[in-house]
Amino acid sequence: MDEAVKEKLVGLFRHYLDTEFTEDPPVGGVDLFSLFNELAGLKNEVKIESRQFKKALDDFRQAFIALDGGQQELVTLLGSLQHQEDNTGREENMILLMGLIDLYDRIGCGLKQAAPAPSLIEKFVPAVKQNRIRLEAHLEGQEMVFNRLVDLLRQSGVMPIKAEGEPFDPKRMKAVGTGFDGTFREGTVIQELRSGFQRDGLIIRLAEVVVNKNEEKE
- What pLDDT is recorded for position 165? 95
Give me the DSSP letters along 31-56: -HHHHHHHHHHHHHHHHHHHHHHHHH
The answer, as to whether pTM is greater than 0.75, is no
pLDDT at 146: 84
Question: Domain residue spans in the chain?
Answer: 36-156, 159-218
pLDDT at 76: 60
Number of other residues whose CB lies within 10 A of the CB of residue 59: 13
**Measured between alpha carbons, how far is 180 from 147 in angstroms, rounded to an integer?**
32
Query: Quick one: pLDDT at residue 148?
Result: 84
Pick the CATH number of 159-218 from 2.30.22.10, 2.60.40.10, 3.40.920.10, 3.40.50.2000: 2.30.22.10
Question: Residue 171's pLDDT is what?
Answer: 95
Q: Cα separation of 112 and 98, whole Å?
A: 21
Edge to edge, what strands does the sheet with 202-205 contain? 158-160, 197-199, 202-205
**How high is the mean pLDDT in each 10-residue block of the chain (218 residues)?**
66 65 54 67 64 62 58 58 53 74 83 67 66 74 82 86 95 95 93 92 93 75
* pLDDT score recorded for residue 61: 61
